[in-house]
Structure 1
Amino acid sequence: MHPFFFTVIGAIFILSVVIAKLLLYGRDKFYLNFLLTLAIVGVAWYALIYLLTNSGQIKNYPYLFNKGLPFYYAIAPCLYLYFRGSLQPQHSRFKKNDLFHFLIVIPAIISIIPYNLLSLQAQQAVVNRVVADVQFAFSNSAYIVEPWHWFTFPLSACVYTFFQIRLTYQSAKQEAQHKQTINWIYFFSGVCAVIYLGMLVINITILQNRAHIWFILHEGSLVLFLCFCLLILSFMFFINPELIYGLSKRAAVAGNNLEQYRPLLAGEKARPKTVDTKLAQQVTLAIKEQELFRRPGLNLSELASVLDIQNHKLSELFNNHYQLNFSTYINNLRIEYIRGRLEQGDWKQFTLEAIALEAGFSSRNTFFNAFKKVMNTTPSAYLASLKALQTA
């Protein structure tokens, strides 16, 4: 197998692991993780099609060919919106204006329609011709995406990356921003820019030297360099787990909890983590006095947006000060609210489920599980004992 392919296969595998981790962690920022997942899917799909096309294996998967162009155009906008939401909490939730960034995908969808309207047999014929003559993949055939896309896709990505770097530069001026996070975004954006520019150069070279397409794609040093850049990019998702998954680096080491005990094992005193008490008071007052916990589906990103606090700052506060994850803390407040309502006798006018919905629980099962976890009894049993006391 060609060394290029080993590199690409490795990158695809790592990106798949990243997608799995995004599905498992970081549920408190659903919108941002959706954007990041979409971008990673686009990158992985591009790498997969490159692998299949240049190895000739695409002939066995004609239904995969000519599908990914809309995803490619969405990669850079998704990354830009993701980093904007991560650096600026007011943009961490979906807004209708965000859809304008995806208008660029429409021409790509139009371009792939002719091929995808073909029968499977006709698609197989097109793919067979691509395998037999790679120049056909860059032709003006109605069933191949127009060559100008190979210019506009990387160019648009470069423009978005420029604004991404500019956004990071502006955010770096704020004292609240972590220098490590800013440097990570700078480096990540730089690798992306190198890949986009390299793709642009390769596509221009191919369109000007169609007779040497096979050599450019299989033996060209620039292609090998970009493959390694893709591998580096995939590894970067494990360098800053706090930003990506909402995990501290210590918690991200594959379930290895030994780190927190090492100072004790070495005879050293564990250093207490500093907590911003002013920020803790601000968050506590806002959540309790404004009863933000009663908002159904409240997540960390939404709370960060309401309080105008960065996601990672809020995440650190819950881990270090409250020493609870976000959902547990909010559910505890909801149970406390429900207990107060029940003790006031509100159960006479409302059902348990109605009170739970007012408290912010989105489902009966979630309420029952949270109540039992906090009170060590079921809501119905607690209510029965409460009735007995009030009637005694």
Structure 2
Amino acid sequence: MMQHNPQFWISLSFAILGGAFCISGLLFRFYRFFKYRDIGQLLISVGVMALIWHVMIYCMIYTGEIQYYPRIYNKGIPFYYLVGPCFYFYVWLKFNPNSTLPKYWLLHLLPFCFGLIDVIPYAIAPLEEQKKLLRMLVEDIPLGFKHHYGFVDQQLHYMLRFGLAIAYIIGQWRLYYNADVDAKATKREVLIFNSVYSIYLLLQCSIVLAIILNSSQEAYILKSLDKLVWVSFCFLLFSLWFMLDGNKKSTLYYLK
């Protein structure tokens, strides 16, 4: 059992501590949003809340607790699609502090709408059927990549979500390198954000890609505690940055 391995508890501790840092950071950033109408803080907060939900669900899967809360499983799919655009436009606003969001930004919500539709089959399934699936999932974690409660194959969901996330992070780095060289303080803030999030994202993508390309080893890959420790540690670093950065004065972005 993974629960008997010290690495499991180390990774779980990193995840829980990271979640606590994120919640603290959210309080700071929501304060700045409501006081200064700082839309950039709202965007990054939405993206981070989706990450917190994702980490929480996986912690519950690994500990087995998810089987007692069937109603919350699978509900995060649409929100995971918001992480990429929210982070991208957060960076865009960092370099364009006096601008409003471009008119086409609503198009970036299309994957979110697609995700909302795809959670319907699981949401309307009988409660006992949901509980049965989650009991099986706790015993066989790769089932999360293979169950049929959705209009789209679950592996395709992971490929789309992480494919879009990579596209957006490339866009974030493009914004960074094309920014005015005079914006040194802002570029330094964005560099830290992009770097920490890129490492966290690449670790997750490597695990998903390994599972998709090597289905015979998917159970081993998902239960690899070495990988779990590194992913949770990167989440902890990102969460620490999110909290510390949220508590310091920076450029404001205004809703007009």
Instruction: Tell me the TM-score normalised to structure 1 length.
Output: 0.58
Bigger relative contact order (CA 8 A; separation at least 6): 2
After TM superposition, give the deviation of residue 31 of structure 1 in Å: 2.3
CA gap 1:145/1:115 in 2 versus in 1, 3 angstroms: farther
Deviation at 1:30, TM superposition (A): 3.8
Distance 1:84 1:171 in 2: 10
Segments of 4+ moved more than 6 angstroms: none
Deviation at 1:41, TM superposition (A): 0.4
Give the equivalent residue in structure 2 for 1:234: 239
Task: In structure 2, give the amino acid aligned to 1:199.
Answer: Q
Shift of 1:94: 4.5
Where does residue 4 of structure 1 map in the other structure?
Answer: 11
Q: Is the 8 A contact 1:154 1:197 kept in 2?
A: no
Query: Which of 180, 189, 195 in structure 1 is aligned with 2:185?
Result: 180
Aligned-pair Cα RMSD in Å: 2.3
For 1:62 and 1:75, how far apart are their aligned partners in 2?
24
Task: Pick closer, same or farther for the CA change 1:194–1:301 going to 2, 3 Å.
Answer: closer
Counterparts in 2 of 1:6-21, with a 5 A limit?
6-21=13-28
- Cα separation, partners in 2 of 1:116 and 1:198, compared to 1, 3 Å: same
Amino acid across the alignment from 1:160: Y
Matches within 5 A, 1:97-176: 97-143=104-150, 146-173=154-181, 175=182
- Residue ranges of structure 2 left out of the alignment (5+ in a row): none
- Per the alignment, residue 92 of structure 2 pairs with 84
Q: How many residues get paired?
A: 246
Going from structure 1 to structure 2, the CA distance change for 1:50 and 1:109 (only over 3 Å counts) comes to same
Stretches of structure 1 that go unaligned for 5 or more consecutive residues are 249-299, 306-392
Q: Which amino acid aligns with 1:103?
A: L
* Map 1:1-392 → 2, pairs under 5 A: 1=3, 2=8, 3-26=10-33, 27-91=35-99, 93-143=100-150, 146-173=154-181, 175=182, 177=183, 179-240=184-245, 244=246, 247=249, 301-302=253-254
Q: Distance in 2 between matches of 1:47 and 1:192?
A: 14
TM-superposed CA distance for 1:236, in Å, is 0.8
- The residue aligned with 1:312 is none
Q: 1:13 to 1:180 in 2, by over 3 A?
A: same
Deviations 1:274-298 (A, max 9, x none): xxxxxxxxxxxxxxxxxxxxxxxxx
Contact 1:39-1:74 at 8 Å conserved across structures: yes
Q: Is the 8 A contact 2:64 2:138 kept in 1?
A: yes
Q: What is the Cα deviation at residue 59 of structure 1?
A: 0.5
Structure 2 counterpart of 1:128, one-letter code = R
Higher Cα Rg, which structure: 1
Per-residue CA deviations over 1:250-295 (Å, capped at 9, x if unaligned) read xxxxxxxxxxxxxxxxxxxxxxxxxxxxxxxxxxxxxxxxxxxxxx
C-alpha change, 1:151 and 1:38, in structure 2 (3 Å) is: same
Quote how far apart the aligned CAs of 1:123 are: 1.7
